[in-house]
Amino acid sequence: MIAPLSIPGGWMWSRWQPQRGMPFNSYFFQTDGGGVAIDPLALEEEDMRHLRDLGGVTTIVVTNPDHVRESAALADAFGARIVDSAAEGSEVFPGAIALALLHGKSPEIALYLPEYDAAIVGDAVLGSPAGAFSLLPDEKLADPRRFAFGLRKLWGRNLRMLLPCDGYPVFANADALLGDLLYARLGAEVFRINLDDIPFVFSKEKIGRYSVSDGETGLLIGARKLGYRVADIPPGHAFCPLHWHVEEEEFFYVIAGQPSVRMSGGTLQCRPGDFIAFPVGERGAHQLLNESEATARVLLVGPNAPHESCFYPDSDKVLVEANGLVRRMVKAGPDLDYWDGE
């Protein structure tokens, strides 16, 4: 029977596997690009009618070679295309980003749904026992140690929900449960990463001067209160607009190159080994630039405050964040009276 998920437009169906002592699951999502089925199990005719009522299936995603299941039959029934691989970071279907999980039983893609702090995995992580996660036996994994380290890619998303296709889904607290799993397998090593192993992603905003390659660091190794990442700023580019925080005190550490830090009290020309502090308030306003002729590499560190206001003096904007639920960028002026509009 197809049942709704707590994700809008999301559905699942399951089949009990007595030899494994767990359910196997399939998922379905209604998207702007059509219906998407993931690792589809067999369906009763009533469930097929339900899928048709939901708009049908246009895409079938197979997370790994052992989860083909009833994909061919479902593709024939709906004329759907089958996706069995995807590049790291690509959008597999609207709202779902591919994460490549390597060195396991077989190459697998997990599907990350950032809007809902959720991810779907085939059998890279098992939802067993109920309310916890486990891994396949080491003898079934190509390289158990490298595979476990690779799962930090999921852990680094700070997930609320993790929906495995083998085992029981977890709809809350998935991040902590993943941390328990990885710590049990890797011990203290899970909290360390080398600069050479940080995955850098190139990002180019609409305004071309804000182009950087940066790598999330803290979330990958379990940091949740203190945020840190490493950024490579090309010559002639900037990491961020001038801004200052109300709650988050930050600092930068220059690893390589000669970046500049523009502050309200002047611009600092920096060199490797420099620490630069940014206290809260207007005195801590800062913008990271690279006006040199070589790439600069900088470590950026600051707390992850649940509630924050951030002011942008050059553009007279203010960013307001509240517990991850509200994020608004608005004009800071003109100032209004408390009773304005009442």
Q: Which residues of the chain have pLDDT under 50?
A: none
pLDDT of residue 326: 73
pLDDT of residue 203: 77
pLDDT of residue 204: 65
pLDDT of residue 205: 64
> Do the bridges between strand 108-113 and strand 118-121 make them parallel or antiparallel, or are there none, so unpaired?
antiparallel
pLDDT of residue 208: 75
What is the rounded distance in angstroms from the CA atom of residue 10 to the CA atom of residue 4?
Answer: 6
Q: Is the dihedral of CA 277, 283, 288, 289 positive or negative?
A: negative
| Predicted confidence (pLDDT) per residue in 9-38, tens digit | 999 999 999 999 999 999 999 999 999 999
Encoding tokens for residue 155? 């852990």
pLDDT of residue 290: 96
Burial (CB < 10 A; 0-12, 13-18, 19+), residue 131, is exposed
pTM: 0.91
What is the rounded distance in angstroms from the CA atom of residue 278 to the CA atom of residue 287?
Answer: 10
Q: What are the C-alpha distances in Å from 276 to residues 87, 165, 300?
A: 37, 47, 10
* Secondary structure of 190-229 in HEC code, one letter for each residue: HHCCCHHHCCCEEEECCCCCCEEEEEECCHHHCCCCEEEE
Q: Is 293 left (phi over 0), alpha (psi -120 to 50) or beta?
A: alpha
pLDDT of residue 103: 97
